[in-house]
Amino acid sequence: MISNIDLGINFAYVVSAVMFIFGLKMLSSPATARRGNLVSAAGMLLAVVVCLLNVGLDYKWIMIGMAAGTVIGLIAAYRVEMTSMPEMVALFNGFGGIASLLLAWSEYHQHPALSVFIAGVTFLTAFIGGITFSGSMVAFGKLAEMISSRAVTFRGQHIVNGLILLATLVFGVIFSMNPAANYPVFLLVVVVSLLFGITSVIPIGGADMPVVISLLNSYSGIAACAAGFVVHNNILIVAGALVGASGIILTNIMCKAMNRSLVNVLFSGFGSNAQAAGDGPQGEIRPATAEDVYYILEAADSVAFVPGYGLAVAQAQHVVRELGDILEKNGTEVSYAIHPVAGRMPGHMNVLLAEANVSYDQLVEMDDINPQMDSIDVCVVIGANDVVNPAALDDESSPVYGMPIIETFRAKTVIVLKRSMNPGFAGIQNALFFNDNTRMYFGDAKASIQALVAEFKDSV
């Protein structure tokens, strides 16, 4: 018979689940994203409090852990730069994976005589959690440029990964049949999962990192969902399933934005055969000064800013908004064209511009801005490279061929802000820079835009 306490706990879990769902719904729009994050966080707080009150525990170590985690989290959140946000997301994914692995390991260590079903779920939790952790650490290293962002491949790599996966499945069956007598097999699964996470992410190039981060986020959710079965916690199952499903959906959206399948992203080794950073020029560039760009913008009726990772590096989002405000006061129609995979993580540019209080109504997605491109007077490309590369449309030999881009080359004039002619994260040169209607405005993005703002103010 179900007690009143159990009913209260289950009711609280239902409330938490509803808050998670509504929070996720709110995250789908920039206008409600912050509120959605708070709603989801409140739901998680409710779930954690109810879970801890439900079991008799020594709270000393739990409180110490919570205090330590809170301090570390606050310091990291306040100190992290916007340029490092993708790395932090990768770390969060990894920590979620290792938490699930350790939870399953702890439960199995205390109660090794598991049923076949729970043993199988314990195996999956450890395996997926291990992949998520080590894979996320590799993604972190690539994003932080601690290791090469290029795809690292070797002959027979797919065969090696296939054999690792097959061996792990065999280990999982052996472990599940008699978990109490197969502790060494479980430890072997943990080691192999960590190895597989490395070998599966290393061959993925830097240009595919937004997809990888999204996929690893999904993995962390699936691992948490499986861990919920291990410890018999319904809200953990629900929360993990929501994260896993939303991560898969977002991964699919990202793949469509690149016109590539998930299999192609994971196994093609994109970027391993990309042209080197020093490949020769494809024509003559046309540099411009701040004064040149000022006159071009001052005469424009419509301007579209196209942000990329360089905007985040320069921390130029606030001065870009200031320039946009000045242009609007000058009678210019201003918009911000957002490519789904611009930056280093899903929604990177949206977060960056939201921080600068750019109006949500001015953010225009790639599919909506491209039909308007012929009528736009000036496109200002700020630190974007691969997502505006015309080679994706007309050069079948290019690694980015087939990827949908923001078709800035169709605008009447294109202003490209870059530090140098070095290629983007995909490691290939951009034909846009050599077009007749393109002007290269070299320098730090923030300083360059500040110079334009000064030009406008001086002209008043």
| Maximum distance among all Cα pairs of the chain, rounded to whole angstroms | 82
Tell me if residue 436 is catalytic: no
Question: How far, in Å, are 93, 107, 235, 405, 433 from residue 385 at the CA level?
Answer: 27, 48, 43, 10, 9
Q: Which two tokens stand for residue 180?
A: 């109490």
Sign of CA pseudo-dihedral 41, 43, 44, 46: positive
Q: How far is CA 393 from the centre of its chain?
A: 25
Which residue is associated with the tokens 């950073």?
277
Please say whether the beta carbons of 82 and 90 come within 8 A: no
Q: Which two tokens stand for residue 318?
A: 């606030």
What residues form DSSP beta bridges with 381?
306, 416
From 218, 246, 237, select the one nearest 103 (Cα to Cα).
237
Which residue is associated with the tokens 């399948």?
261
**Whole-angstrom distance, CA of residue 397 vs CA of residue 114:** 54
From 60, 117, 130, select the one nearest 232 (Cα to Cα).
117
**Whole-angstrom distance, CA of residue 191 vs CA of residue 188:** 5
Q: How far is CA 222 from the centre of its chain?
A: 17
Sign of CA pseudo-dihedral 401, 407, 412, 413: negative
Regarding beta strands 378-382 and 413-418, do their DSSP bridges make them parallel or antiparallel, or are they unpaired? parallel
From 54, 59, 62, select the one nearest 10 (Cα to Cα).
54
Choice among 301, 325, 367, 386 that is catalytic? 386
| Active-site residue list | 386
